[in-house]
Structure 1
Amino acid sequence: MKSLNNNGVSTCMAGQENYVYFNLMPRLRRKSRYCQYDYRHEEDGELFSTVAPTLEICRQRRDEWLKNKEGK
């Protein structure tokens, strides 16, 4: 499985996104696939990280975070 961090530190570079899908409980036969998502802000390098069922939801959350950040 791809990792989003190295020794607990995100490998996400400024202005980029990294994501990986994983199964929460692979032994259970129900749908438990999630997306772990990191995005590092271009200007100040602040890291946004979330987990959601789909990449689209992660990106929506990121967009909301960016709007709130710009509104400060």
Structure 2
Amino acid sequence: MTTRMTINGVSTCQTAGTEKYEKFSFPRKPRKTYVQYDYRDTDGELFSIIRPTLEECRNKRDEWLRAKERKARE
């Protein structure tokens, strides 16, 4: 898997509050595509996930953000 989203294994998503994503497929399963998704939260924490669609990635990001908010309120 080659990606433009990392340099030496480090995410290129560095600006707080931004997202980066790209589609890819594994060499042995060329018909199936996935989305690599990175989101840098406003506090600087990175959320990274791979799912079949961008919508699924964003849904998981939103769940992660809600969980962080609940934890911060405790």
Q: What TM-score, normalized to structure 1?
A: 0.85
**Residue ranges of structure 2 left out of the alignment (5+ in a row):** none
Hey, what's the Cα distance between the residues in 2 that align with 1:56 and 1:65?
14
Deviation at 1:50, TM superposition (A): 0.3
% same residue: 55
List alignment gaps of at least 5 residues for structure 1: none
Q: Which runs of 4+ in 1 moved over 4 A?
A: none
- Residue in 2 aligned with 1:9? 10
| Corresponding residue of 1:36 | 36
Q: Kindly provide the CA deviation profile for residues 19-62 of structure 1, in whole angstroms up to 9, marking residues without a partner as x.
A: 0100123x546x310000000001x2000000000000000000
Structure with the bigger percentage of helix: 2
Aligned-partner SS, 1:71: helix
RMSD: 1.6
Please give the alpha-carbon distance, in whole angstroms, between the structure 2 residues aligned to 1:34 and 1:2.
Answer: 12
- Alignment size in residue pairs: 69
Q: Partner of 2:21 in structure 1?
A: 19
Q: Normalising by the residue count of structure 2, what TM-score does the alignment of the two structures yield?
A: 0.83
